[in-house]
Structure 1
């Protein structure tokens, strides 16, 4: 074996999974804008039996070593729910994925991506969409804009060199996902204020916060609207029942009743907007560990979170209303309600809305109407295998 030869082996067992997780902390240690995830959550993400993604996906993790030293990692996976979707929505039969890439240099990255492609071809895949870490609902895309500031909760952050490595391997952009920065200390433009005021005077419209004492029912309602609203969107993959339960358990500690709105029209819930305090602001200095005292700091913060940034990861309006003026009005009303609450109750000064597909005309129009600006962009690439 040559001294510089890169050896790639499949992850097998707990020790390998730990090494897979640990590598990210070492390779990103010098990036001031990388937010170390909690190690327990990073390990849970890649562990069968803990992450319900594995129940409907074929997943293989790989580690790269050179001269015995760990120099890279990657995941290759096939989401059985994704390949069952209509190809017009981006996924579909024959489409596999890779993600969770970390590499010391370009040679390692190329070897790892090549190994992932080889594994996918061996499973009968004819096309790859990447990076996805691991489902479309987790951390999709390679960062291409916004390297100079940390990501918000549940968004990825990769060095620019990874984008260069991907482009050198004949990958082409499939979709661009944008996040929008919004100064929430400022009132919205007069036209938007009038639209909101008109809605507030309409007896048929009710904007309400969720009831956390009925957490399971409210979560089911929101997911029902989400599945209807997003069902035709590019990249949409339905949640499994196990993933719904898992997401509810995971989000419950940071869910705030006054930050998740449901819009009702004539008594029927027809839209929702979810907003989360940016947990990354609290996690960043913790270095991925809750010990010895970070667990107490986090618990105290969760009781009464004060945070600079809010993130709006999800919003949806039932499909039958999406081309109507009512849809935009409900969106503006929910955004305004959460804007006021975020400033008054949480001391927030900015929000990040997204991700939003660059060709989603309706959502882009709403983002532009409230004077938000694109601050981060991610690309999901594709390649024929």
Structure 2
């Protein structure tokens, strides 16, 4: 990662070029959001790995630059700019991405950060900027614009209400909204859906849990279905083999095979659902640190105390099956099977996210299954130059 320092009066925009600067970059939102009771500091170890080329395979197909805004020796803001060479072209002018935006409530800071990121993208041939993506569209996406009154679930963002106004004041316009749905497990499925799933799987359809003895193969199956099922979604970028391996490694610590279900049609794996324990619930008071006692607290809360909340980050059905009746039943059967296990394990609330605003088939499935929107994240676009 490299760049040049831009000075704006007392404000200095400096590229992140060292491990110490990366630590400052990661820690900044913790200070900015210290007074927000719903902010949860991410684990420093996880954030360092996500933002380091040696440990995040995203960097193998992307150019990335991080910056800090510094005023009078104090960090007051941060931003990233990135160009993902696997991101699809929609036939329009070349687009780059911005992300990881966090700053004090000061329009001067936001203006300087975005001017620097936009200049970097423009110098590399980009004429549009989209974001926020932290860093990939397959990771955290969007800026929180509704739902500030609850903490974020695992792998979801949380932003102060003032950020959206500053971004929009710089000429960024909404291009997509994505939603997080919430489902209370104490509520049964709506009667029509309950009647349908109680009939059981149709002939040739089989549901099964994830097989930990074949874990790596199971994750490869999952990403293969994901790449197929989501291939026509807006902004879809396929998951690479290296990213699949990284996903397998990162999920293994927290995935519970009782909460990961596959559906087969005539012996072929056709769909899946994964519910992840909401690790944010377990790390809420750790302030990003696992040492000296954080590991013990985390493991105790995950294994002994048990969590009450969870998230569905991944669900999909192969496209060739989604057009037939048996395939159209799979999301409801998978949701019901996973919900039943989650309820038996003591979970109370499950989030299903993120869901594109115009993904009407998936929204219809979730709403028919009794879920409702409780957070909205916005993706912005701006024409550069």
Shorter-chain TM-score: which interval?
A: over 0.9
Listed one character per residue, the Cα deviations across residues 312-353 of structure 1 (whole Å, up to 9, x for unaligned) are 1111111112233323311111111111111112x1111111
Residue in 2 aligned with 1:121?
Answer: 122
Displacement of 1:304: 4.9
Listed one character per residue, the Cα deviations across residues 359-382 of structure 1 (whole Å, up to 9, x for unaligned) are 111100011102211000001001
Displacement of 1:257: 0.6
Aligned mates of 2:266, 2:333 — CA distance in 1: 16
Displacement of 1:2: 10
Residue in 1 aligned with 2:49?
Answer: 44
Instruction: Name the SS for the 1:159 alignment partner.
Output: coil
Aligned mates of 1:22, 1:188 — CA distance in 2: 42
Aligned mates of 1:356, 1:122 — CA distance in 2: 33
Match of 1:16 among 11, 17, 21: 21
8 Å CA contact retained: 1:99, 1:134 = yes
Match of 1:57 among 58, 62, 77: 62
Equivalences, count: 378
Alpha carbons of structure 1 residues 86 and 2: separation in structure 2 relative to 1, 3 Å? closer
Residue in 1 aligned with 2:265?
Answer: 265
1:33 and 2:54 aligned: no
Displacement of 1:258: 0.9
Residue in 1 aligned with 2:235?
Answer: 235
Residue in 2 aligned with 1:363?
Answer: 362
Aligned mates of 1:305, 1:101 — CA distance in 2: 34
Aligned mates of 2:32, 2:122 — CA distance in 1: 29
Residue in 1 aligned with 2:290?
Answer: 290
Instruction: Name the SS for the 2:223 alignment partner.
Output: helix
> Can you give the 5+ residue segments of structure 1 that lack an aligned partner in the other structure?
none
Displacement of 1:3: 10
Alpha carbons of structure 1 residues 93 and 324: separation in structure 2 relative to 1, 3 Å? farther
> Can you give the 5+ residue segments of structure 2 that lack an aligned partner in the other structure?
1-5
Instruction: Name the SS for the 1:286 alignment partner.
Output: coil
Aligned mates of 2:224, 2:144 — CA distance in 1: 30
Residue in 2 aligned with 1:137?
Answer: 138
1:165 and 2:166 aligned: yes
Aligned mates of 2:8, 2:228 — CA distance in 1: 55
8 Å CA contact retained: 2:7, 2:13 = no
Moved more, 210-219 or 7-16: 7-16
Summarize the alignment of residues 287-326 of structure 1 with structure 2, pairs less than 5 Å apart.
287-304=287-304, 306-326=306-326
Aligned mates of 1:259, 1:339 — CA distance in 2: 8
Displacement of 1:187: 1.3
Listed one character per residue, the Cα deviations across residues 16-71 of structure 1 (whole Å, up to 9, x for unaligned) are 11111121211111111111001111111211211111111101111111122221
Aligned mates of 1:305, 1:353 — CA distance in 2: 23
Alpha carbons of structure 1 residues 3 and 351: separation in structure 2 relative to 1, 3 Å? closer
1:80 and 2:79 aligned: no
Alpha carbons of structure 1 residues 2 and 38: separation in structure 2 relative to 1, 3 Å? closer
The alignment's TM-score, normalised by the length of structure 1, stands at 0.95
RMSD in angstroms over aligned alpha carbons?
1.7
8 Å CA contact retained: 1:253, 1:302 = no
Instruction: Name the SS for the 1:150 alignment partner.
Output: coil
Aligned mates of 1:325, 1:245 — CA distance in 2: 33
8 Å CA contact retained: 1:58, 1:78 = yes
Aligned mates of 2:348, 2:140 — CA distance in 1: 25
Moved more, 92-101 or 141-150: 92-101
Aligned mates of 1:2, 1:59 — CA distance in 2: 21
Moved more, 252-261 or 100-109: 100-109
Displacement of 1:98: 0.8
